[in-house]
Structure formats: C-alpha cells, structure tokens
Chain A
Amino acid sequence: MSDSYDIIIIGAGVTGCAIARELSRYACKVLVLDKDEDVCCGTSKANSGIVHAGYDAKPGSLKARMNVRGNEMMISLVKELDIPFKQIGSLVVCTDLSLRGGIEELYDRGIANGVPGLRILEAPELRELEPNISDDAVCALYAPTAGIICPFRLNIALAECACQNGVEFLFDTAVTGVEAIPSGFKVITGSSEYNASVVVNAAGCHADEIHNLVSSVKYHITPRRGDYMLLDRSCEGLVNHVIFPQPTSLGKGILVTPTAHGNILIGPTAVDTDNRDEAPVTADGLAKVIEGSAKNVKGIPVKQVITGFSGLRAHEDGGEFILEEVSDCPGFFDCVGIESPGLTACPAVGEYMASLVADKLSLLPKSSWNGICHDVKKPFEMSESERAELISSDPSYGKIICRCETITEGEIIDSIRRPLGARSLDGVKRRTRAGMGRCQGGFCSPRVMEILSRELGVPLDSITKNGGSSKILFGRTKDES
C-alpha cells in the first residue's frame, strides 16, 4: 500500500467496483476506499435486486442510457463473474382502467429508450402468466429483458475481479477531505492521506458531501429510505415475473418479485429522510409494504416473512445520474445521485466512467487482463459426481453449517480465505448465504463465528456482525474481571 495512485475511487458499492473493474483493464494504479468494513455495505446491500428493462427513465437521460446499456451488458457479465441471475421479465400492472394511458406512456418511453421486446398484455394473457395477479388488473406492460440478480455477488464479484487485476481496497476508511495538489489530489482520511491524479466519487448517499468538498456548484442528496419484507422460499411460485405497480414521482413503487435465490421479496416504500447512514425498518413501512403489494398480487403469504430490511437510495435534487468530470475541478469525476436504476446501470456506468478517466490520463490497456471470477464452489449446486469428487478432495464441503440454505464449511472457509475475503458474519453471509435462511442465523451463526475465529486467528469475542463496534460477544463466562 503506497500513498500515490493514478486513481482513487471513493465508495465500494456496485458503482465504485464496476468502475474499478473497468479501470483494471488499463495499466494504472487504482485504490478503492470505503468507510465501511467491506464492499457492498451501503445501498448495494439493501435494494430490490432488479435488473430493470429501462422503460421507466426519461428518454435521453443518463438514467435511461445507462439502464439499457447496463441491462445489455449484464447478460455476459453474470457469466463472467458467476452471478446468480434470471431474466424472468417484468410486468407493470394497471389496476385502474382510467390510468391505462400511463402504461401506454411507459411503453412509448421504452421504445424511445431502445428497450427490446416490450408488449402491452391484456388481462386474459396477464392472468395466464400470473394466476395470482389482482382481480382488478386490466393490463400490463411486459418487458422480457428485465431480470433478478443477486446484488451481493454482483458487487463482490466486481470487486474480486478488480482485485485480481491489481486494484487495491481499503476499508474502514472514510474520506474526510479532498485537496487539490499539483499532481492531482490529496485524499484525506481519518488517519492517512493518499495522493491520486484522478478521484472518482462513487460515495452513494454521501456523494454530494464528497462532491461539495471540491466544487462551488453544490449538489444535494436526499436519502430515500425503503422498507422491504423477504418471504420464505416456500412461497416460490407466487409470481413468475417482477411485478410493478404504475410508477409515481417517488419511484417505481412497491413491487412483488421472486429473488435470484428463490425467495419472494415485497417492497420498497419511499420515505425521504435526512439520515444518510441509518435505515431502520419501521412498523409503518412494513404496513405500507403489505398494503401496497396486495394491490397487485392476491394472497401474498405475509406470515411467511423471514426478515425485513431497509435501504437508502441517493436521490439527487435533479433526479438524474450525474456522471461527469466536475467542471470547476478537473480530474475529479462524479457519480452522484445513483438511485434506481443504479444496480442495473452499474456495468454501463463502469464502462462510461472508466473511458472518461482513461481518456483523461491517456491510459494504455494492459497486455493481459482476467475478467473472469468464480464464486465460492457450491457442492449443492453441482452434479452428484462433481460434488462427490469435491467432498472427497476436501471433506469440509461435506459438513453443513447453514442448515436452512444447505451451506457447507468449505464454502465458508473459501469465502474467508479468498482475496477481499469475509471478515465478519455479514461478510460471510453476503458471500455464501449462510444466515439468509428461515432461521436467520439462529443455528449457524455460532458455528460461522467459530470458523471466522479459527481462520482469522482471532478470539471468538472479537468477531463482529459487520465490522466496527458490532461485536457479537462480550467476553467469556467466568471472566476474572
């Protein structure tokens, strides 16, 4: 770890990591800084996991362009990076005939944005595709290119790929200041300083604050909080597509969707807040999620909830992605206002921002670059013979730790040992799914903690839920103190 880089990226969410991966194609030194303990700790970990088709954003906008390009790029990206992804298509459902015009408008917008395969379905066809759709449904916009993805693996894989191509990552490193210096910038963190020729601001809900450190043109982000409920995998089959209501000014609305792992997800609400870091789940939010989702889909078994969560989206006042070099601060590149469709857009944003930076620094492509990154080996997604071979070569793949999701010790060990490996319970959870099942870690978390403690060579009571002061244990029983 030196203190001088070609590029420093602030933020290790999907945006920062997508840019890092793209930049890692070039001969340059890149450092990614994140204030949290791991990649994927902000908006990227608490969202709907949808790869949007791209009819929603205003034609000609960056949101629209990046959405459609990102959707297109996702098809090959998920193969290269081993990301769970299903292109199941989406339906924007109209339940009020008088609002049918809205569906047609979305269709027109989609055409203008270059979204392939769009069709308006009438009620009979809609009901055939979705038997549980509301009795009030009159028609729907069908977008076959929409899909569902695992946002954790997406973020982690982008980072792992960047890392294997030489990008460095520093966590628990919040940026407190950025100063212009002759060679570029001095990026000041709590305890250190790092120099870079170029800085990329991908700081999510703090991107306006970071931008405002260097520019006299001020941006303002309103964190927009959304509550979600995740239902047990036994609810699979409730719906077959991503089901959206008609959008409002606050966003795409409360959706009902299968997830890439077979759960059903309902949510989010949209509540403006001024807290950029905390997203509590609220009783009101959960009630709205239940009410809102029931408008489009019948018989949602909300009693099968296994967890609720809440995420913040960075809504900039202008309502658009700001992806550009800051005019009064050359060398400083913004990715501000990355709310929906930020997840979908990230490969395109990565491609776009990397090209801007590469131009700026006249970067040359590397002679060899490895864009492929494999996920942890999952014995229970393998064929019988592959699995048998894996277990006999490494018996830890035969010991199940997370009963609910059938996750083995081997996978957990891999998730810790690999580059940018897990160092906390949540880190293991996001990389392996251990703890994401119906018992929510009740059975496996002491065992995962034991494995973390052993692998990292630290006492059990230093293990955290997600870094910082989120320790699980307070010392031993029979402590002499």
Chain B
Amino acid sequence: MRADIVVIGGGPAGLAAAISAARFDPSLNVLILERDNELGGILNQCIHNGFGLHTFNEELTGPEYASRFEEQLDGLGINYMLNTMVLNVSSGSVTAVNSNEGVFTVSCGAIVLCMGCRERPRGALNIPGLRPAGVFTAGTAQRLVNIEGYMPGREVVILGSGDIGLIMARRMTLEGAIVKAVCELMPYSGGLKRNIVQCLDDFDIPLILSHTVIDIKGKERVTSVVIAKVDSNSKPIPGTEQEIACDTLLLSCGLIPENELSRAADIKINPATNGPVVNESFETSVPGIFACGNVLHVHDLVDYVSEESSRAGKSAARYVSSSNTSVGAEIRISTGSGVRYTVPSIVRPDELDSDLIIRFRSTGVFKDSYIDVSFNGPKKIHRRKQIITPGEMEQVILKKEDLLNISGDICVAISES
C-alpha cells in the first residue's frame, strides 16, 4: 500500500492536518489511520460546549466541531481506515493492523503523528488502599456515560480539578449522581475558570484545594475514600484526614501524550512535554515525520490543536511536494525563568510562512507578571498578564522578518513586575 502522507489518528489533530495537507496540494494521496470505529477522536465523547470559538466564531460541542472537519474529507479526496491500529512507524513507512487487511505496511512520503494522549491511571498515582471496582479515570467515565450511555456510579468523589474532572462533575450531576467533592492537590485549580463556575459553583459542588486521596476503601466496590490536606511538598498532613462515603472515584490527574510509536521510531522526545521535539514546521527529529495536537503537547483548547495541526499538515505536504532540501539557520528556543516548555523548540526562520507562534506553559501561578521574549539582546515582547497559570497554555507571536539574521537563542520567560 502507498500514500503520500499517512496521518496517524483521526481526531481533531489528524483531521486538521489531513485537510490542510490536501488543500495545500490536492494531487497528494492523504490517508488517515484511526483506531476507533469512527473519526473524531476524543471529541466524540466531549459532548459539552466550548469548542470552536476561535476557529468558527461559534460555540460548538465536541461532536459538532469534529463534524465541521469530517465533512471536508470527501471533497478533498482524503481516505481513511477505521478500526485500524498503527503498530510501528519509521521514516517512509507505517505498519498497521485491522480485521480486513491483517497486518499491512503503507509506504509513504511523510507521516503526521496525531495519536493524542492517555490519562494517568490510579496505579501511576500510587494511591493506597484496596483495589475495588468504581475507580475510573475521568475520560473513561466520560466515554461510558456519553458513548455507551451507562452510569459509572451514583455517589462520586473526583480527584483532580483539571477540565476533564470539572466537566465530569457537571455531567454526573446532570445524570442524577451526587458529586460530593472535587479534590485538588495544588492550592489552585488546574481547569479553566469558566468550568469552575458552570461545573462546580452552579451545582454547589465543593472544590477542596491542597488535598489528595490517601486511601480507597471497599473490597469489591468503592465504599469511601479518605482525603487529607497536603503540605507545600504535596505530602499528606497527619491529622487532616476526612473520610467521604462514595461508590465512585474519578481521577483527572494528568494527561500523557501517547508516544510509544514515536519512541520506537527513535524520535527525540522533550522530557518536559513527553512529546516529540519539533521545529517551526512541526517536524520531529526524524525527517518527514511531523507531530501535532495532544501527542506533541497537551492542549486546553481544541482550536489551538486545529491551528497547530493545519500548519503541521501543510508542512508535511510541502515536504512531500518539494524536493527542496535547504537547511537554513536553526535557532533554539530556550525556556527562561517561569517557563516549563515551549513548542516548538527550534525555529528555522527561512522556513516560516509569515509568523511564528510559540506556545508554552508556566511552571506555576504568576500574578501581575510579564511574558518576556528576547533575542539578540533586548526584550522584543514584554507583555503584562494579570494571571498566568500552568493550566492555561499561553502563546506569543513573532514575525518572520524579525527573526532573520538573529544570533543566539530566542528566550521565553516570565518576569514579575
């Protein structure tokens, strides 16, 4: 089998990348390989609002957002295979398996990695206690409620105040469950403010900051959890234990980009994101392999995923279409104080169309501070922000013309006033 571009994953990243690649060069044969029985990825189970404000200037639900992309596929001649699991990726070759073809290989000019991410399970959180039924990651619970149409429980405690936990607090409540508390290890919530309002405040669900679950009780099914306050090192403080009766514990404690395929292909991984190191074209350390979306770094907004993935898809198409092997100057983007990571990590200004978007996350909560971007000496951007938190991805935009002929790194940092 042969394709010009193979896109691994048919969720928001894969869809946007495939469409962008096909639009850039309609003569290209673009193939999406998707493991589920439908396209749309995680959006299929994200039945809530909040998608598309930037992209379509409308507030859409996840499935509606996905369908805006899916409906473009036919017209662009983009092919896709469902129920197909990719087993291996290497330069110019993708191996996958499904019921019809068995194990098969697609030789291709470029690959776009759009595998998304998985949730951190209980086991990786080392939560003590028994191991009864009733402990779910929030996303698995979301799938059970919204796709299968079953209730994972009736009295719920949620650990983790990231958006998935908050959304599920509301979802479970709407379906008649009682959500007794959302506990958060940090002294601040990991999710968007709007979700605190419309998922917790609206239903009087308490948000208990600086707490974690230290025990799960119940031999066959959860009967209660014990929470405790934590100190500044996130260690439980003896004497602060509280037992909360419940039959369900939902965990929303972090998303991990699914880079098993990337690692097996010896693609260089950024330890700060657990996603591939990429340049301004979203190309990884292996030529012809690109990455975008949650597999590259976990996003908060699907609109950014689509924007990023469009660029990546276009880059992949350009890579296949042109035989241009020019290697322009490579500038490193470094993380200064307060910045945990940037995407991309490298920029070749000659390869930019017009501007460079650098997306990043902070190492902590900063109030009344500045985003500083500097290169060639003085700060080129010194932008005040009332609040910066790790849970809300930030971005800065630099113009191509400003980046030509610079020496040294581009440094992104956060400074206090």
Contacts and interface: CB of A to CB of B under 8 A. Distances in A.
Asked if chains A and B are in direct contact (CB within 8 A), the reply is yes
A440 interface: yes
B214 A283 contact: yes
B144 A446 contact: yes
Interface string B113-131: 0000011011110101111
A220 interface: no
A282 B236 CA distance: 13
A476 to B, nearest CB: 6
A234 interface: yes
Main SS of the interface on chain B? Answer: mixed
Given A305-B126, A439-B119, A470-B133, A384 B144 contact: no
Contact of B151 (A286, A439, A443, A476): A476
A105 interface: no
A306 B83 CA distance: 26
Contacts of B215: 280
A1 interface: no
Given A282-B128, A398-B102, A439 B220 contact: no
A438 B85 CA distance: 17
Interface string A210-252: 0000000000000000000110001000000000000000000
A459 B35 CA distance: 25
B263 interface: yes
Nearest to A283: B128
A278 B417 CA distance: 55
Nearest to A277: B219
Contact of A470 (B101, B102, B118, B220): B220
B98 interface: yes
B149 interface: yes
Contact of A478 (B147, B149, B214, B221): B149
Given A278-B219, A283-B214, A460-B150, A443 B118 contact: yes
Contact of A230 (B123, B137, B150, B219): B123
A406 B87 contact: yes
A308 B102 contact: no
Contacts of B176: 479
Interface in A460-480: 460-461, 464-479
B28 interface: no
Interface in A361-416: 384, 387-388, 391-392, 395-396, 398-400, 403, 406
Q: How large is the interface on A (under 10, 10 to 19, 20 to 34, 35 or more residues)?
A: 35 or more
Interface in B126-146: 126, 128-134, 137, 139-140, 143-145
A262 interface: no
B265 to A, nearest CB: 14
A472 B150 CA distance: 10
A442 B132 contact: no
B100 interface: yes
A111 interface: no
Contacts of B221: 469-471
Nearest to A443: B118
A386 B328 CA distance: 48
A207 B148 CA distance: 43
Nearest to A392: B102
Contact of A308 (B103, B123, B132, B133): B123
Give the one of B83, B97, B247 with max A CB within 10 A: B97
Contacts of B118: 438-439, 442-443
A309 interface: yes
A461 to B, nearest CB: 6
Given A286-B126, A308-B126, A442-B119, A473 B151 contact: yes
Interface string A22-48: 000000000000000000000000000
A468 B220 contact: yes
A442 B130 contact: no
A134 interface: no
A164 interface: no
B257 interface: no
B130 to A, nearest CB: 5
A306 B122 CA distance: 8
Contacts of A309: 131
B224 to A, nearest CB: 13
A281 interface: yes
A474 B128 contact: no
A87 interface: no
Contacts of A355: none
A468 B247 CA distance: 15
A473 B154 contact: no
Nearest to B219: A278
A132 interface: no
A308 B123 CA distance: 6
Given A230-B123, A442-B118, 20 more contacts: A229-B126, A278-B130, A286-B126, A384-B103, A392-B102, A395-B100, A398-B98, A398-B103, A400-B85, A403-B35, A438-B118, A438-B121, A439-B118, A440-B124, A442-B119, A470-B133, A471-B221, A473-B144, A473-B150, A477-B149
Which 10 pairs from chain A and chain B are nearest by CB? A307-B123, A395-B99, A465-B133, A440-B121, A391-B102, A470-B220, A398-B99, A400-B85, A470-B133, A473-B150
16 contacts: A234-B263, A280-B128, A281-B130, A283-B214, A283-B236, A305-B124, A395-B99, A398-B99, A400-B35, A439-B119, A441-B121, A450-B148, A465-B132, A471-B133, A474-B153, A476-B150
Interface of A: 229-230, 234, 277-283, 285-286, 305-309, 384, 387-388, 391-392, 395-396, 398-400, 403, 406, 438-443, 445-446, 450, 460-461, 464-479
Interface of B: 35, 83, 85, 87, 97-103, 118-119, 121-124, 126, 128-134, 137, 139-140, 143-145, 147-154, 175-176, 214-215, 219-221, 236, 247, 263
